[in-house]
Amino acid sequence: MSAALRYLSTRGNSPDATLSEAIAAGLAPDGGLYVPDHLPKLDIAAFKSDGSLAETAATLLAPFFAGDALAAELPTICAEALTFPTPLRALPQHPKTSVLELFHGPTAAFKDVGARFLAACLRRVRGHGAVPLTILVATSGDTGAAVGAAFHRQPGVEVVILYPDGRVSPRQAHQLGCFGDNVQALRVQGRFDDCQRMVKAALNDAALQAQSPLSSANSISLGRLLPQMSYYAHAALMWRREHSEPLNLVVPTGNLGNALAAVWVRAMGLPLGKIRLACNSNATLPDFFAGHDYLPREAIATLANAMDVGAPSNFERLRWTFPHAEVLREQLQAQSVDDQTISDTIALHAREHGEVFCPHTATAMHVLDQLRASGDDAPWAVVATAHPAKFESVVEPLIGKSVDVPPALAVMLQRPAVAEPMAAEDGALREWLLEKAALAS
Ligand SMILES: *Cc1c(COP(=O)(O)O)cnc(C)c1O
């Protein structure tokens, strides 16, 4: 067996960590993101040909866990977290067009995969009797709900969700506030990037950490990023068994966690073809891939709100993976899709094909529509990141009818919801956490 991977910070100023340490910490001490010292390579033959998603995940992630305290538990962690399917569903509109549906989990978005896996890891890393850990999560909508659901009523863990007030859909806001018990929601008077900055500031605040141990469950956490690789590996292998060409992907992208997982899977040697990022009007990544300097900026609000990110965190990991900008630009292409086009795409696909997509999935569907119109006949999967029922206020007026609500979402929407307001200032979160710690002790 190969030697254990070591985990380093993208900023290069933190001591090496084990996987368990990296998962427990969330962010590296120097403010960077944890990455493995190299990406292992895997042979397709290593995978069981009719394995479940959880089995594919256990094989794929084994080299990342080798030598770690969690290694022996990896298959159980995968089985515990990956309890719902991520089907690759063929669409009748073109013989080689499919959707990779990632929204069959408890909160109806792909974030359930990472959140549940992270929760399963943290339960084991922390053991029993430790000081309660507060998990901070900045969310543009879906992450907070997934993390809340994954940790709800888990002993020894408090979850604090920060979301930009008025910038998530009404149903998302309801989901975020509906947990209660050990899960609290703060509605921040600012943007997602403010929420993310406040979380990072708190995590980097040693004095605060001494009062109240903190971790993060954002897509910066390796415990979320790694499991997201599973569904890409699973779909790629499934496709490749029956077809001669590899599957290409269009990934709706915001903070770049989901797409980075696909890039890593391909870099490990699994059969994936091209990867295209579909962004909304937040054009930081499209501009970079078009040849401009990387220029993070303030996020603007769009219909695909879970992708309203102007400074995608995982760009640091992408740059670590491909340090030379020119090489990096060969790996991916990225495109912006404006709100009008998102609306038109949702309406068009409902009208012509009877398919209803959420606004995020619609950005990716539009990118593929354009490829098809330009004569591209390769196999493509559009990654469907959320169920359209989460965004009914956008989707229903466009398609002229209501969208059925998946049962798990319906249950959450029936519970009452509460969220406290908070100013978009690092100090406000600090004070709030100190007060919470004082009350608890
Ligand atoms: C989070 C999210 C995205 C963006 O994913 P990233 O990993 O941040 O790029 C896209 N669509 C939906 C529905 C999401 O919740």
| Predicted pLDDT of residue 17 | 96
123 C-alpha to ligand 1 centroid (Å): 25
Task: Identify the segments of the chain with pLDDT beneath 70.
Answer: 1-2, 127-130, 219
Nearest atom, ligand 1, residue 309 CA:
8
Q: Which of 221, 255, 315, 394 to mutate to test the pocket of ligand 1 (most atoms within 8 A of CB)?
A: 255
Q: Which of 360, 367, 382, 387 to mutate to test the pocket of ligand 1 (most atoms within 8 A of CB)?
A: 360
| Predicted pLDDT of residue 440 | 79
| Predicted pLDDT of residue 125 | 85
258 C-alpha to ligand 1 centroid (Å): 7
308 C-alpha to ligand 1 centroid (Å): 9
Q: State how far Cα 425 lies from the chain centre.
A: 25
Q: Which of these, 11, 387, 373, lies nearest to 172 by C-alpha position?
A: 387
Name which residue sits closest to atom 2 of ligand 1, judged by CA: 306
Nearest atom, ligand 1, residue 257 CA:
7
Name which residue sits closest to atom 14 of ligand 1, judged by CA: 306
Per the listing, tokens 């073809």 go with: 273
219 C-alpha to ligand 1 centroid (Å): 10
Name which residue sits closest to atom 8 of ligand 1, judged by CA: 255
Nearest atom, ligand 1, residue 256 CA:
9
Name which residue sits closest to atom 1 of ligand 1, judged by CA: 306
412 token code pair: 């959450």
193/163 Cα distance (integer angstroms)? 10
Task: Report pLDDT digits (tens) over 211-248.
Answer: 988 988 876 889 999 999 999 999 999 999 999 999 99
* Contact of 257 with 289, CB cutoff 8 Å: no
**Pairing relationship of beta strands 97-101 and 133-138 according to DSSP bridges:** unpaired
Q: Where do the domains of the chain lie, and which CATH numbers do they carry?
A: 87-110+223-405 (3.40.50.1100)
260 C-alpha to ligand 1 centroid (Å): 12
104 C-alpha to ligand 1 centroid (Å): 15
Name which residue sits closest to atom 15 of ligand 1, judged by CA: 142
- Ligand 1, residues at Cβ distance < 6 Å: 109, 111, 142, 219, 252-259, 306-307, 360, 385-386
The number of CA neighbours under 13 Å toward the Cβ of 32 is: 20
305 C-alpha to ligand 1 centroid (Å): 9
264 C-alpha to ligand 1 centroid (Å): 17
217 token code pair: 């469950």
Nearest atom, ligand 1, residue 258 CA:
7
302 C-alpha to ligand 1 centroid (Å): 13
Amino acid in position 351: R
C-alpha pair distances (Å), 303 with each of 62, 189, 280, 395, 412: 38, 19, 8, 10, 23
252 token code pair: 């709706």
| Predicted pLDDT of residue 142 | 86
163 C-alpha to ligand 1 centroid (Å): 14
Q: Who contacts 185 (Cβ-Cβ below 8 Å, separation ≥6)? A: 144, 148, 161, 163, 176, 177, 179, 417, 418, 419, 420
Q: Which of 276, 307, 337, 365 to mutate to test the pocket of ligand 1 (most atoms within 8 A of CB)?
A: 307
252 C-alpha to ligand 1 centroid (Å): 7
Longest dimension (CA), the chain: 65
